[in-house]
Structure 1
Amino acid sequence: MADKTFDIEKPLWDLSTFYGRWRHFAWVTDPRSCLASDQELHDAKKLYHSYKNGQTPMNDQTLRAKKLYESAFHPDTGELQNVFGRMSCQVPGGMAITGAMLQFYKTTGAVVFWQWANQSFNALVNYTNRNANCPITTSQLTTAYVSATAAAMVTAIGCKSLWKNLSNPLIARYVPFAAVAAANCVNIPLMRQNELIEGVDLVDENGTKLTQSKVAAAKGISQVTVSRIIMCAPGMCILPPIMAKLETYKLMQRIKVLHGPIQVILCGCFLTIMVPTACAIFPQNCSIETSTLKKWEPESYEKLIDNCKGEEPPKYLYFNKGL
């Protein structure tokens, strides 16, 4: 029998604290997990469930299996996620695209291309890390992708045109961040619109589904949107003045071909810290008070009361807000 002192389904750290969540997400989003092959991931899933069911004793591979399983398989469906959509790919994928956006900001063509590339990447990440209990249709997926990409491009081109005549050229370097922030406010809600239309499943502390809520969906999506903007903000806001200063030195002027790679590496440094930080700001297992349902969603509250079958409803209900 497996060592029951270790519950493989539970996090290794206390997720009620920011530090505990940060350690958890730094572990789960470790970019090295992206290098694992599909065979390794499926073997990890098999070992994970084998230990969970008491069929395998604790060994050196159990923790690694837990790490790979939680980094690559969706928490709602248990399906293997696309490698480029996993949160463990946020650092390598994000650093390449963000570095390129910050480097190639001077021409409209470059701005449009890299905003399209970034929104394509974001759309995949948003879809991969959605609340899978609320499926999205191909039509809704296409609408979300096109709308977010258009929002990013319009914002980027608009800011570029507005700021091009300003005396301070540094301001133009902030066009990519303005576009990314605007697009996130469009991309995430549209990509997860079914949650807003149908509501997300709410469960008690034992995981029993009791009702659904649109207000909870709005809360979760808002938190994810804020987290995504915070995730990219330091790199996209701090790097511009750093690069503007570095480019005044003669050495940097002689190695212009390396400006892009330098920005990519620096973006990677920021994202290594900011990906777990942004994910840890809000608990993934989000909560909502039943009194909120009673006030704003009487139908959901009535369903909750019916499912409680005469017992006192719990004060809080929980749902997966996604990442």
Structure 2
Amino acid sequence: AYTPMQPPIVLGMLWPGGFVRGAAPFMGCVGAGWASLILMRYNELQHGVYLKDTNGKQYGKSRIAAQEGIAKCCAARVIWNIPVLALSPLLMNRYYRTSFHAANPRLRLPVELAVCTSMIVVGIYPAQAIFSQEAAIAARQLEPEFQGLGVDTFYYNKGL
């Protein structure tokens, strides 16, 4: 028997006032991820990351490269939250309407755990793979001391 339920968070965004209900958890997770990333890598923002050429020779630290690397990491943190916070509610809403769930209500927690865990795996690894850990940046985009050294492209460790 079908029992009416509230729409999942993602669909709830379509109703009046639903945007906050649907977007608040996502924005909270993304904001927390950004805050932790910036706090953990604050030293890189202040002092820069090491730049090297294709042969591995280091040329010094660049704050601009650090900012670019951290921005890419922030973008990845937005992407990896999408499956967990958008797909999980949709999948669980479908599951709650099945006769299997009605006959086995005690399996709700294990099923939710399995779905959320699989969505984390689906989200995090591809999001981290979008940007290579070893990033390249053109010398013309960097501070003046890295221009005119005969190197067109520098490489740096973007991080994860």
TM-score normalised by the chain length of structure 2 = 0.77
1:313 is matched by which residue type in structure 2? G
**What is the alpha-carbon distance in structure 1 between the residues aligned to residue 149 and residue 20 of structure 2?**
57
**What is the alpha-carbon distance in structure 1 between the residues aligned to residue 153 and residue 19 of structure 2?**
48
1:225 to 38, 53, 74: 74
Relative to structure 1, is the Cα distance of residues 170 and 318 closer, same or farther in structure 2, using a 3 angstrom cutoff?
closer
Match of 1:216 in 2: 65
Give per-residue Cα distances to partners, 1:298-317, cap 9 Å, x unaligned. 3xx1xx47xxxxx8421011
Does residue 315 (structure 1) correspond to residue 155 (structure 2)? The answer is no
| Superposition CA RMSD, Å | 2.8
Preserved CA contact (<8 Å) 1:195 1:217: yes
Offset, 1:258: 2.1
SS for the counterpart of 2:131 is coil
Write 1 or 2 for the structure with the bigger share of strand: 2
| Correspondences of 1:193-208 after superposition (within 5 Å) | 193-208=42-57
Match of 2:37 in 1: 188
- Unaligned ranges ≥5, structure 2: 1-11
Preserved CA contact (<8 Å) 2:34 2:77: no
**What is the alpha-carbon distance in structure 2 between the residues aligned to residue 254 and residue 183 of structure 1?**
38
- Unaligned ranges ≥5, structure 1: 1-162, 306-310
**What is the alpha-carbon distance in structure 2 between the residues aligned to residue 232 and residue 253 of structure 1?**
29
Preserved CA contact (<8 Å) 1:200 1:319: yes
**What is the alpha-carbon distance in structure 2 between the residues aligned to residue 229 and residue 220 of structure 1?**
15
Offset, 1:195: 0.4
Offset, 1:233: 1.1
Sequence identity percentage: 29
Give per-residue Cα distances to partners, 1:153-189, cap 9 Å, x unaligned. xxxxxxxxxx9xx778897465432310121222211
Preserved CA contact (<8 Å) 1:170 1:240: no
2:26 is matched by which residue type in structure 1? F
Match of 2:112 in 1: 263
**What is the alpha-carbon distance in structure 2 between the residues aligned to residue 176 and residue 258 of structure 1?**
24
Relative to structure 1, is the Cα distance of residues 170 and 190 closer, same or farther in structure 2, using a 3 angstrom cutoff?
closer
Offset, 1:289: 1.1
**What is the alpha-carbon distance in structure 2 between the residues aligned to residue 257 and residue 276 of structure 1?**
31
Relative to structure 1, is the Cα distance of residues 170 and 218 closer, same or farther in structure 2, using a 3 angstrom cutoff?
closer
Higher relative contact order (CA 8 A, sep 6+): 2
| Correspondences of 1:1-323 after superposition (within 5 Å) | 172=21, 175-293=24-142, 297-298=143-144, 301=145, 304=146, 312-323=149-160
Relative to structure 1, is the Cα distance of residues 268 and 169 closer, same or farther in structure 2, using a 3 angstrom cutoff?
same
Relative to structure 1, is the Cα distance of residues 192 and 312 closer, same or farther in structure 2, using a 3 angstrom cutoff?
closer
